[in-house]
Amino acid sequence: MPRTALVPATALAALVALPPAALAMPMGGTFNGHVDTQSAQPMGAAGQVRITKTASGTNAGPGTPLDGAAVRINDMAVLRNGQGRLKGTIVFATPTGSTSSPYTGTVATDAAGRVTAEGEFREVKGKGEFAGLKGRGRFSVAHSSPTDFTGTWQGEFQVPAQKTSRR
């Protein structure tokens, strides 16, 4: 084989041996949740309160790896007259792995007392099947009662390259 033919062949072999690049994919779902614990602490200013809560539920995302995942939420909001900022962490857990995402957003309470929230989550941390998963996106939540709510989320995720055996 001529020497010039070896260079492209060697380059092609090197490309084939490279690990596949991470794939970007949109993913989303809805979840129903229930407040498990909640505490409200009045703060210095009139009408200002800090609320901490834990909640749990189930995610629905047909066709996604998080369909049927258990959802756990820990967050804290500082509200003034029913409006304010929110920050927390949401965890999606399946039998084969979990994701954890910090989030921030805003909370609003309307004249009828209905509570809604919306915001952004970032930098997903994954374990097990989801190790290496990264992403960011948006969420919204609407309470149907003081303890029950429905949320939606949508984001772009980088799925890690598939690991291959070196045997």
Cβ partners under 8 Å of residue 55, min gap 6: 33, 34, 35, 36, 71, 72, 73, 149
Which parts of the chain have pLDDT scores under 70?
1-23, 161-167
Domain boundaries along the sequence of the chain: 23-159
Q: What DSSP string runs through 31-46?
A: EEEEEEEEEEEE-SST
Residue 136 pairs with which residues in a beta bridge? 156
Please report the pLDDT score of residue 107 as a whole number: 97
Global pTM? 0.80
Please report the pLDDT score of residue 21 as a whole number: 53
The helix, strand and coil proportions of the chain, stated in percent and rounded to the nearest 5, come to: 10, 60, 30
Please report the pLDDT score of residue 25 as a whole number: 79
Please report the pLDDT score of residue 26 as a whole number: 86
Please report the pLDDT score of residue 123 as a whole number: 81
Give the whole-angstrom CA distance, residue 55 versus residue 71: 8
Give the whole-angstrom CA distance, residue 144 versus residue 158: 33
CATH of domain 23-159: 2.40.350.10
